[in-house]
Chain A
Amino acid sequence: MIASPTTGPRMPVLKVENLAVAYKIRGGEVEAIQNVSFEIARGETFGVVGESGCGKSTTAWAVVNFLGANGYVKRGSIKFQGQELLGKSGEELRQLRGDQIAMVYQDPMQSLNPSMRLGDQMKEVLTVHRGVSDAEATRRCVEMLDRVYMPDPAAVLRRYPHQISGGQQQRVVIAMALLNNPALLIMDEPTTALDVTVEAAVLDLIAELRRDFDTAIMFISHNLGVIARICNRVGVMYAGELVERATVQELFADPQHPYTQGLIRCLPRLGADKAGSVLYPIRGRVPPPSNRPAGCVFSPRCDYVQERCRLERPELRQLPNGTFVRCHFAEVIDPAAWIPSADVRLIPPPAGNGAGAPILEVQGLKKYYPLQGSSLRDVVGLGEQRFVQALEDASFTVHKGQTLGIVGESGCGKSTLVKTIIGLESSSGGRAEFLGLDITGDLSDRNTELIRELQMVFQNPDATMNPSYTVGYQIARPMERFGTVPKGQIRAEVLRLLEAVRLGENYYNRLPRQLSGGEKQRVGIARALASRPDLVLCDEPVSALDVSVQAALLNLLLEVQQEYGTTMVFIAHDLSVVRYFSDQVAVMYLGQVVDIGPAEAIYAPPYHPYTEALLSAVPIPDPAAQQRRIRLEGTVPSAIDPPSGCRFHTRCPRRALLPDGGRICEMEVPPWREAGNGHRILCHIPLETLRDLPPVITVSP
């Protein structure tokens, strides 16, 4: 631990002033970020938040001066522990990197070298920078892995990255970053690629390490919930500029910049539903660096825009409460008096809540994938045939006009369930009926009429549209295929649908590459609706989008659902979104539905122990909210050889509530317990005990 004697305890570890980064492109250059100023003190976590394309990562790369061949710092200064980093030679920077400044970024699998043992990758940080012996390096790596709660650290050192799970990979990356006890740790979306329970554990770890090592952390995230949980101070970036800088409490309680206010209004609060609240998207989209407005960068999207905003670029200035904000009118804007624009309105719940007839009934649905063995016995066909039990016993009913939300972590079988229902896969057992017709087979077993009734909205906006065809053609195709619209009227119908998804007529002839992510998703929705289906399956339709786009899209889905009376199955990993959007919610774990019922019932006691853990892990965009801390041990078991009895028993934190330490959970499949109002919980623990558990989340007024 090298603490420079001249560095006082309050001296910032990192001080960035008026930073501007430019990239050379063909025919000129663009400034990706401008006028960014902030400082981070020892032991502090400074969050940087904003939508994609706002320059968060560029700021981080500028700090370590790793901007690629065509990027450079154009103006400003970056002081690290009092010394200017700009103008330092490559060799000086190299010695700082990995030693004094460490970095962790998004995808741990990508950031570890696939062909080197983890031990070699970790040890070299010590051997290169500190010149320690190999044995000593090994010892310190084991120590550090132990410190990040990695089970069996010595063995991990001998493994390759692909041999450990994503959460463990991120622990290795974090341990590697901390090996030399750096003064500054830059984390760029370190938990974005992880599941919510793993994310919670990693965030806990980061908070703990910051306290213990007294490191300054620059924490970049697009997720306001994560920022609220982990940061002391926050900088909000918009279009390459820092528009607001405040303590985390101030920022969420009293946001000053209209952009910050807008961001917070976009988010569904955990517990909010569509009947009682509305999401307010920010209109328009982030301008590309080459096309930023002359005055305030936010002015084209700002609800409070004045003439001055269009002409004069505001400076970052301090308000009386200590917050820094880049807005001419921060003092006079009162977010409480904000009036939503006319086109966003509360969607009234459908008349006769939940009264619709059952449209989709699934009972004990199974999907097994045969597994190819690789031993000689398997090759000659003597080996025992094994299966991945991707879906085991999914049961639920969806009523007409309602939305069933399905949540669960990756690998829980959500996507398999959807594929089986839509017919991309045939099921391996169980019963599934749509409007009384059997749908256990795949598409080849279904007639055109049935195929037409079931349509799907996909996750990835960049893959949802065929790049070779125009928007108009792709929406028209289902109409031609199913003959739902007479030939002559197809164009008119396509235009009507474009209107319904809030895209104008001028989108008809566009190609997908001319659309933004949100627009592509809108076309995807229009295409799904084009055949006038009764049931639309939405597979994470908003998870790849920025929050403001996400809000607009959720609103749109609600609108079209109401207008067309469409029934929906909605998959998402974000519990707040599912809560907001769904009438019924099913929680899945390892191929099973473990908890199902009306949305409000799922999010309140009695909880299924897994649901309880999920809720405890959700990052809430409100630093004042209290969340009980329940963390799951270990990783999701393999679906090839799932645990006996209750599949959750290996990780269940509530087994201790049962007599005999929950032996029964290992032996017997748990019963369905009816908690009233259609809420059913698959658990051995009696309902009374579950009811006595306190709520996971309490929002203080």
Chain B
Amino acid sequence: MARFLVRSLISTFVTMFLVSVLLWVLLEVATGDVAVKLLGVFSTPEQRASYRAQLGLDAPSWQRYLDWLVGSDWRAESQVGFPLVTATNQITGERVWWADVDGTPTQWRLEEGELLTLQLQPDGTVATTAAEVGWSRDEAGAEFFWGVNEDGSAVKWVRGQGAEVWVLTKGGLRKEGDGPQQYIPLRKGLLRGDGGKSLQTGRAVSVTLFPRLRNSVILAAVAFAVVMPLALLLGIVAGVNEGRAIDRTISIVGLTLTATPEFVTGIFLILIFGIWLKWVPAVAIFTSPNAIFENPSLLILPVLTLTAVELGYVARMTRASMVEVMDTPYIRTAIIKGMPRGRVIFRHAVRNALLAPITIIMLHVNWLIGGLVVVEVIFGYPGLGQYIYDAAIFGDPNAIEAAAMILVIVAVGTRLVGDFAYTLLNPRIRYA
């Protein structure tokens, strides 16, 4: 057992690491210029370069990967010279970075060539004063200052060089002069629970991701709760009646359901129940993230769609396993011992027959996630699947990476659960 746990733990971390690197490389190689996507095709190269610098995208790829993994405050701290701390913004729930100047959380802002100090007061308000800090001088004689700005980046301000930057504001791009020359976007890194900010929305991934995850978990859990008992039951019924009409029916229907893509099933369900029968709303509009709690009927069609595909698969797996078990010598023994049929099936066969499907079903969770993406897109369901879809289409690295990490944990976790259940059901391993 110890070996099993240690191995699976190591395997989980190795897997997550490999996946994150792989995705990173893929996104690096493939994604187009994010600045173009955000600033539009009519932006000038200077504007784009400036914007990329603000996002820290001008750093080398390995540097950004490390920042993403273990955080950037380490290297920023040595520049700024003050300890860097975070405080949570009460309104957005996001993390805000401050430099800890003698116990006071401090940020800086350059306005009209003058450096201002923003100090976080104990009551949550921010006091703005003129900065008293001295500028440092580099070899070339330029005066510069490393501090933390309001966007949560460590910034190198250089005085008097008239360097211009382009800042994206609500009103569009605005040119600011005399400004920051180097940025290190501050983050704690994934290992310390910070997934970074979404490039697309500018909001912290951790804040936006979890409500989506919750919605998807509800959807998947309900589907799972519907599928499992039903599929196992159908599989057992078919397996016990191998070759009879009921077996053929269950097998063929199961196969057809499995072989039909989710979008086809979903569309047919909408057609039948939404448009022709009008039993459920054909178009589900999710007005708020909590819509499914207010109107659970919104779940019906997505759940049915997911169920259809999984049902056939699991039922067929169970059937195959049941057929195999019913053919074993120990079932023959039970029958020759004069055990009633029900007892043979439920006491002797089912437990052994469930061994094979359980591991396979758990490995099948990826398939379910694939289905989730499609189902959420069809029904406009605000879940993880749609989040991934949007992030992938945009090429939003932090969002994709964060979602992928969650998916890996789900996949590895379910595999572990499957292995564990297998061990529980199989005394040959339990008492090895």
**A contacting B, Cβ–Cβ less than 8 Å:** yes
Interface: B336 (CB within 8 A): yes
Across the interface, do B428 and A66 meet the contact criterion of CB distance under 8 Å?
no
- A100 to chain B: closest residue by CB: B338
- Residues of A contacting B333 with CB < 8 Å? 103, 105, 111-113, 173
- Residues of A contacting B1 with CB < 8 Å? 374
Q: Max chain A CB contacts within 10 Å: which of B329, B331, B431?
A: B329
- A160 to chain B: closest residue by CB: B427
8 Å CB contact of A129 from B329, B334, B338, B432? B338
Stretch at the interface among A89-97, A136-144, A618-626, A636-644: A89-97
Across the interface, do A97 and B6 meet the contact criterion of CB distance under 8 Å?
no
- B430 to chain A: closest residue by CB: A160
A374 and B3 contact, Cβ closer than 8 Å, known pairs A97-B335, A99-B338, A128-B339: yes
- A94 to chain B: closest residue by CB: B338
- Residues of A contacting B278 with CB < 8 Å? none
Across the interface, do A98 and B352 meet the contact criterion of CB distance under 8 Å?
no
- B349 to chain A: closest residue by CB: A113
- Residues of A contacting B328 with CB < 8 Å? 110
Across the interface, do A115 and B426 meet the contact criterion of CB distance under 8 Å?
yes
8 Å CB contact of B427 from A99, A103, A111, A162? A162
Across the interface, do A378 and B3 meet the contact criterion of CB distance under 8 Å?
yes
Stretch at the interface among B164-172, B340-348, B400-408: B340-348
A114 and B329 contact, Cβ closer than 8 Å, known pairs A97-B336, A129-B338, A376-B6: no
- B338 to chain A: closest residue by CB: A98
* Interface 0/1 of B59-103, CB less than 8 Å to A: 000000000000000000000000000000000000000000000
Across the interface, do A113 and B428 meet the contact criterion of CB distance under 8 Å?
no
Interface: A448 (CB within 8 A): no
Across the interface, do B338 and A376 meet the contact criterion of CB distance under 8 Å?
no
8 Å CB contact of B329 from A95, A97, A110, A160? A110
* Interface 0/1 of A82-124, CB less than 8 Å to B: 0000000000001111110011010100111111100000001
* Interface 0/1 of A124-168, CB less than 8 Å to B: 110011000000000000000000000000000000101100000
Interface: B2 (CB within 8 A): yes
Q: Max chain B CB contacts within 10 Å: which of A125, A378, A379?
A: A379
8 Å CB contact of A64 from B336, B339, B428, B431? B336
Interface: B351 (CB within 8 A): yes
Kindly state the separation between the CA atoms of A112 and B333 in the bound complex, as whole angstroms: 7
Kindly state the separation between the CA atoms of A103 and B427 in the bound complex, as whole angstroms: 25
A160 and B3 contact, Cβ closer than 8 Å, known pairs A112-B333, A129-B338: no
B162-211 interface (Cβ within 8 A of A): none
Across the interface, do B431 and A160 meet the contact criterion of CB distance under 8 Å?
yes
Interface: A69 (CB within 8 A): yes
Kindly state the separation between the CA atoms of A99 and B348 in the bound complex, as whole angstroms: 19
Kindly state the separation between the CA atoms of A102 and B328 in the bound complex, as whole angstroms: 18
A451-498 interface (Cβ within 8 A of B): none
- Residues of B contacting A116 with CB < 8 Å? 347-348, 351
Kindly state the separation between the CA atoms of A176 and B343 in the bound complex, as whole angstroms: 17
Kindly state the separation between the CA atoms of A160 and B333 in the bound complex, as whole angstroms: 16
Across the interface, do A107 and B336 meet the contact criterion of CB distance under 8 Å?
no
B414-432 interface (Cβ within 8 A of A): 425-428, 431-432
Interface: B243 (CB within 8 A): yes
Across the interface, do A111 and B339 meet the contact criterion of CB distance under 8 Å?
no
Kindly state the separation between the CA atoms of A374 and B4 in the bound complex, as whole angstroms: 8
Interface: B248 (CB within 8 A): no
For chain B, give the interface size range: 20 to 34
Least CB distance, A11 to chain B, in whole angstroms: 23
Interface: B332 (CB within 8 A): yes
Across the interface, do A94 and B2 meet the contact criterion of CB distance under 8 Å?
no
Q: Please classify the interface of chain B as helix (H, G, I), strand (E, B), loop, or mixed, using the class held by over half of its residues.
A: helix
Q: Max chain A CB contacts within 10 Å: which of B337, B347, B427?
A: B337
8 Å CB contact of B338 from A128, A372, A379? A128
Kindly state the separation between the CA atoms of A116 and B427 in the bound complex, as whole angstroms: 8
A94 and B340 contact, Cβ closer than 8 Å, known pairs A112-B333, A375-B2, A376-B6: yes
8 Å CB contact of B335 from A66, A96, A110? A66
Interface: B330 (CB within 8 A): yes
Least CB distance, A62 to chain B, in whole angstroms: 13
- A129 to chain B: closest residue by CB: B338
B1-58 interface (Cβ within 8 A of A): 1-3, 6-7
- Residues of A contacting B337 with CB < 8 Å? 97-98, 102, 124-125, 128, 176
Across the interface, do B329 and A111 meet the contact criterion of CB distance under 8 Å?
yes
Across the interface, do A114 and B428 meet the contact criterion of CB distance under 8 Å?
yes
Least CB distance, A452 to chain B, in whole angstroms: 42
Kindly state the separation between the CA atoms of A553 and B330 in the bound complex, as whole angstroms: 35
- Residues of A contacting B340 with CB < 8 Å? 94, 128
Across the interface, do B329 and A115 meet the contact criterion of CB distance under 8 Å?
no
A162 and B428 contact, Cβ closer than 8 Å, known pairs A115-B352, A375-B2: yes
Across the interface, do A114 and B338 meet the contact criterion of CB distance under 8 Å?
no
A115 and B339 contact, Cβ closer than 8 Å, known pairs A110-B330, A376-B6: no
Least CB distance, B192 to chain A, in whole angstroms: 26
- Residues of A contacting B431 with CB < 8 Å? 160, 162-163
8 Å CB contact of A114 from B7, B330, B343? B330
- Residues of B contacting A94 with CB < 8 Å? 338-340
Across the interface, do B428 and A379 meet the contact criterion of CB distance under 8 Å?
no
Kindly state the separation between the CA atoms of A125 and B338 in the bound complex, as whole angstroms: 8
Across the interface, do B2 and A376 meet the contact criterion of CB distance under 8 Å?
yes
Across the interface, do B332 and A115 meet the contact criterion of CB distance under 8 Å?
no
Kindly state the separation between the CA atoms of A113 and B331 in the bound complex, as whole angstroms: 7
Across the interface, do B338 and A111 meet the contact criterion of CB distance under 8 Å?
no
Kindly state the separation between the CA atoms of A66 and B337 in the bound complex, as whole angstroms: 12
Across the interface, do B243 and A113 meet the contact criterion of CB distance under 8 Å?
no
Least CB distance, A91 to chain B, in whole angstroms: 9
- Residues of B contacting A114 with CB < 8 Å? 330, 352, 426-428
Kindly state the separation between the CA atoms of A97 and B341 in the bound complex, as whole angstroms: 13
8 Å CB contact of A69 from B243, B331, B426, B427? B243
Kindly state the separation between the CA atoms of A125 and B3 in the bound complex, as whole angstroms: 39
Q: Max chain A CB contacts within 10 Å: which of B329, B331, B333, B334?
A: B333
Kindly state the separation between the CA atoms of A173 and B336 in the bound complex, as whole angstroms: 12
Kindly state the separation between the CA atoms of A125 and B340 in the bound complex, as whole angstroms: 11
- Residues of B contacting A160 with CB < 8 Å? 427-428, 431
- Residues of B contacting A64 with CB < 8 Å? 336
Q: Max chain A CB contacts within 10 Å: which of B340, B427, B431?
A: B427
A374 and B334 contact, Cβ closer than 8 Å, known pairs A115-B426, A124-B343: no
A111 and B6 contact, Cβ closer than 8 Å, known pairs A69-B243, A99-B338: no
- Residues of A contacting B355 with CB < 8 Å? 115
- A105 to chain B: closest residue by CB: B329
Q: Max chain B CB contacts within 10 Å: which of A95, A107, A112, A162?
A: A162
Across the interface, do A113 and B339 meet the contact criterion of CB distance under 8 Å?
no
Least CB distance, B301 to chain A, in whole angstroms: 39
Across the interface, do A66 and B2 meet the contact criterion of CB distance under 8 Å?
no
Across the interface, do B335 and A379 meet the contact criterion of CB distance under 8 Å?
no
Across the interface, do B427 and A379 meet the contact criterion of CB distance under 8 Å?
no
A293-346 interface (Cβ within 8 A of B): none
Kindly state the separation between the CA atoms of A128 and B331 in the bound complex, as whole angstroms: 16
- A110 to chain B: closest residue by CB: B329
- Residues of B contacting A66 with CB < 8 Å? 332, 335-336
B349-375 interface (Cβ within 8 A of A): 351-352, 355
- Residues of A contacting B428 with CB < 8 Å? 114-115, 160, 162
B294-337 interface (Cβ within 8 A of A): 328-337
- Residues of B contacting A111 with CB < 8 Å? 329-330, 332-333
- What are 29 A-B interface contacts by the 8 Å CB criterion? A66-B332, A95-B338, A96-B338, A97-B336, A98-B336, A105-B333, A110-B330, A111-B333, A112-B330, A112-B333, A113-B352, A114-B330, A115-B352, A116-B348, A124-B347, A128-B338, A160-B427, A160-B428, A162-B427, A173-B333, A374-B432, A375-B2, A376-B2, A376-B6, A378-B3, A379-B2, A379-B3, A379-B7, A380-B6
Beyond A160-B427, A374-B1, 8 additional contacts (C-beta under 8 Å) are: A98-B337, A111-B332, A114-B426, A116-B347, A116-B348, A116-B351, A125-B337, A374-B432
Instruction: Please list the 3 inter-chain residue pairs (A to B) with the smallest Cβ-Cβ separation, ordered nearest first.
Output: A98-B338, A98-B337, A97-B338
